Amino acid sequence: MNGVELRNVTKAYAGLTVMEDINLEIADGDFLVLLGPSGCGKSTLLNMIAGLEPTTDGSIHINGRDVTSLEPDERDIAMVFQSYALYPTMSVRRNIGFGLKMRGMLRDEIDKRVAEVGDLLQITPLLDRKPSQLSGGQQQRVAIGRALVREPSVFLFDEPLSNLDAKLRADMRIELKRLHERLGRTIVYVTHDQIEAMTLATKVVVLDKGGIQQVDTPENVYRRPANRFVASFVGAPTMNFLDGKLSQNGDDIVFDSGAGCLPLVNVPAEARDLIGRPMTLGARPEHMLFDETGISSRVLLAEPTGPDQYVRLAVAGSELTARSGPEQIFRSGSDTRILIDGARMTLFDSQSGQALLTA
Instruction: Say whether residue 43 binds other proteins (CB under 8 A).
Output: no
Instruction: Say whether residue 82 binds other proteins (CB under 8 A).
Output: yes
Which of 23, 69, 89, 266 is the binder for other proteins (CB under 8 A)? 89
Which of 81, 300, 349, 353 is the binder for other proteins (CB under 8 A)? 81
Sheet with 261-265, side-by-side order of all strands: 318-324, 309-315, 288-304, 335-341, 261-265, 252-256, 240-249, 279-283, 346-349, 355-357
CB atoms within 10 A of CB 55: 22
- Helix then strand then coil, % of the chain, to nearest 5: 30, 35, 35
- Tell me the residue length of the chain: 359
CB atoms within 10 A of CB 241: 16
The β-bridge relationship of strands 154-158 and 77-80 is parallel
Q: Which is nearer to other proteins, 49 or 205 (CB)?
A: 49
* Segment interacting with other proteins, rule: CB under 8 A, options 11-19, 70-78, 184-192, 348-356: 70-78
Instruction: Say whether residue 117 binds other proteins (CB under 8 A).
Output: no
Site for other proteins in 228-247 (CB under 8 A): none
Binding residues for other proteins, total number by CB under 8 A:
28
- Crossing angle (nearest 10°) for helices 92-102 and 136-148: 20
* Segment interacting with other proteins, rule: CB under 8 A, options 131-139, 224-232, 245-253, 349-357: 131-139
For residue 145, the minimal CB distance to other proteins (Å) is 13
For residue 59, the minimal CB distance to other proteins (Å) is 20
Site for other proteins in 269-298 (CB under 8 A): none
189, 191, 194, 198 alpha-carbon torsion, rounded to 10°? -10
User: CA dist 307 to 150, 293, 303, 337, Å?
Assistant: 43, 26, 11, 22
Q: Which is nearer to other proteins, 157 or 222 (CB)?
A: 157
Which of 3, 58, 118, 131 is the binder for other proteins (CB under 8 A)? 131
For other proteins, the binding residues (CB under 8 A) are: 47, 50, 52, 71-73, 77-79, 81-90, 98-99, 102-103, 131-132, 139, 146, 158
